[in-house]
Amino acid sequence: MTESTRLFAERGFHPTSVSDIVTSLGVGKGVFYWYFSSKEELLAQLLQAAQLDLRRRQQGAIGDEPDPVRRIELGIRASMQWFSEHRDALTLFQFAATEERFAPVLRAGQEVAVDDLVRHLKDAIGTGRAADQDPQIVAYAILGVVQQLARTFLFSREEPVERVADVAVAFCLHGLES
Amino acid sequence: MTESTRLFAERGFHPTSVSDIVTSLGVGKGVFYWYFSSKEELLAQLLQAAQLDLRRRQQGAIGDEPDPVRRIELGIRASMQWFSEHRDALTLFQFAATEERFAPVLRAGQEVAVDDLVRHLKDAIGTGRAADQDPQIVAYAILGVVQQLARTFLFSREEPVERVADVAVAFCLHGLES
DNA sequence: GCGCTGCTTGACCGTTCGGTCAAGGCGCTC
DNA sequence: GAGCGCCTTGACCGAACGGTCAAGCAGCGC
């Protein structure tokens, strides 16, 4: 699984052939089609497994923290950490978003994470700790920040995770104003 | 050009064959290879043209606005507007980021926009109008917000551009705090 | 009318792809 | 050891791909 994710991320989904995958695994082609009905199905399962793992990490980090704003912060930091350890997964997510048949799988998983975030946001708004903006839009905005920063600074440049996470948190909580 | 962008965005780069492209244009295959040396080159040109157009829109919107924070706001609104009119381009950008050979083209164009944004941010920080965070990271964060919101709300849902742009601006300027 | 250049055609080519399948181990039960 | 599932193999298939090219055509200067 990890190996296929790496291949897809490095060379792209379509340019990576099933032969490439089985060769890198040192097995025959038949074994691939014994476990997966198609190359598409493999990608779908890879996506789902990655999303599940990311979500678990987020929930583990948040624990039973009572403060909604702090819950959001912990979620951001956990996500950034997870992406820094699973850079290939982010590339997969990004590719999946560009092809109609994978987008639904991706969207389903993303919506679960967003719904959580929306709950925290509503708590924060309800207790006057956050501005009264549409929580769903804000949730996606946060998601965009995390993914973009992970892609740019964790992958291309080799910035330390904490530094990037700090700026991400500061930006999401206070914007660019001082 | 617009037609090829649409095809790539709708069906994906690899699944769209050169035959598909020329058929949709009602021309022969030779004419394609007369103007482009390969399918890859077409995509590269599509990317560059789109980036140039987006950049022009941003600069046109900013004009000679003196206030750096307001310049950033105008840039965000212009980008959101542009994406709402060129949804296919965003899908292309996203795909290009997932394949090693297109990433450089994409990065080059993105860096130009980011450099502009960084300049405005430095102005804002210098005059005490923005918090003293690493301007480059913040610039990419803003970029992430705009792209994610465009993708989610302008394409999947059919939200009015202004509403999404308002939240994007509010979030980027003030974060989620009230 | 002739020739030339710039553009256009689509049949064609070599290659590679996703996917199939007849065949063959390997370990289990009885 | 016979029989039987479960897994594994890799040669093989039809289809489709990106890219080529010999041939043709329109327009223009002469």
B-chain residues near A99 (CB < 8 A)? 11-12, 15
Confidence bin at B176 (pLDDT 50/70/90): confident
Which of A8, A22, A166, A140 is CA-nearest to residue A86? A8
pTM reported for the whole predicted model: 0.92
**For residue B127, is pLDDT > 90?**
yes
Cα A113 from Cα B33, distance rounded (Å): 45
DSSP string, B115-160: HHHHHHHHHHHHTTSS----HHHHHHHHHHHHHHHIIIIIIIS---
Q: Which chain D nucleotides are covered by protein, judged by CB under 7 A? A: 7-12, 16-23
> Angle A30-A91-B7 (CA atoms, 0-180°, nearest 5)?
85
Confidence bin at B178 (pLDDT 50/70/90): low
Element housing A52 (H / E): helix A39-62
pLDDT, mean of residues B26-33: 95
- In this complex, the nucleotide whose C1' atom is nearest to the CA atom of residue B20 is D17
State the best of A47, A90, A98, A149 to mutate against chain B, taking most chain B CBs within 10 Å: A98
**For residue A159, is pLDDT > 90?**
no
Task: Provide, in whole angstroms, the distance separating residue B33's CA from nucleotide D20's C1'.
Answer: 10
Q: What is the mean pLDDT of chain B?
A: 94
Percent of chain B with pLDDT over 90: 91
**For residue A156, is pLDDT > 90?**
no
Closest-CA distance, B26 to chain A, in angstroms, reads 25
Q: Note whether B137 contacts A164, CB cutoff 8 Å.
A: yes
Confidence bin at A178 (pLDDT 50/70/90): low
A130 and B178 in contact (C-beta within 8 Å)?
yes
Confidence bin at B157 (pLDDT 50/70/90): confident
Token pair recorded at residue A164: 């990037």
Closest to B177 (Cβ–Cβ): which among A13, A173, A176? A173
Cα B58 from Cα A49, distance rounded (Å): 39
B-chain residues near A142 (CB < 8 A)? 176
A101 and A40 in contact (C-beta within 8 Å)?
yes
Q: Chain B: residue nearest A164 by CA?
A: B137
Q: Residue A82's pLDDT is what?
A: 97
Helix (H, G, I), strand (E, B) or coil at A102: coil
Cα B169 from Cα B101, distance rounded (Å): 33
Chain centroid, CA A83 distance in Å: 7
**For residue B168, is pLDDT > 80?**
yes
pLDDT, mean of residues B51-70: 96
Q: Residue B108's pLDDT is what?
A: 95
Q: Chain A: residue nearest B166 by CA?
A: A133
Q: Which chain C nucleotides are covered by protein, judged by CB under 7 A? A: 7-12, 16-23
**For residue A20, is pLDDT > 90?**
yes
Report H helices in chain B.
2-11, 18-25, 29-35, 39-62, 68-85, 87-96, 103-126, 135-149, 161-174
Instruction: Report protein residues in contact with nucleic acid strand D, where contact means CB under 7 Å.
Output: A 22, 26-31, 33-34; B 14, 16-20, 29-30, 33, 38-40
Cβ neighbours, 10 Å, residue B35: 9
Q: Residue A161's pLDDT is what?
A: 94
Confidence bin at A25 (pLDDT 50/70/90): very high
Element housing A87 (H / E): helix A87-96
Is the CB of B24 within 7 Å of strand C? Answer: no
- Residues near A87 by beta carbon (within 8 Å), at least 6 away in sequence: A9, A150, A154, A155
Cβ neighbours, 10 Å, residue B48: 14
pLDDT, mean of residues A39-67: 96
Residue with tokens 């394409």: B155
Task: List, for residues A121-151, the tens digit of each pLDDT value.
Answer: 999 999 999 999 999 999 999 999 999 999 9
pLDDT, mean of residues A51-73: 96
Q: Chain A: residue nearest B12 by CA?
A: A99
Is the CB of A17 within 7 Å of strand C? Answer: yes
Q: Residue A2's pLDDT is what?
A: 83
The pairs formed by B82-87 with CB atoms below 8 angstroms and a separation of 24 or more are B82/B53, B82/B54, B82/B57, B82/B58, B83/B54, B83/B146, B83/B147, B83/B150, B83/B154, B84/B150, B84/B154, B84/B161, B86/B50, B86/B53, B86/B54, B87/B9, B87/B150, B87/B154, B87/B155
Which of A63, A64, A57 is CA-nearest to residue A78? A57
pLDDT, mean of residues B171-176: 89
Q: Residue A106's pLDDT is what?
A: 95
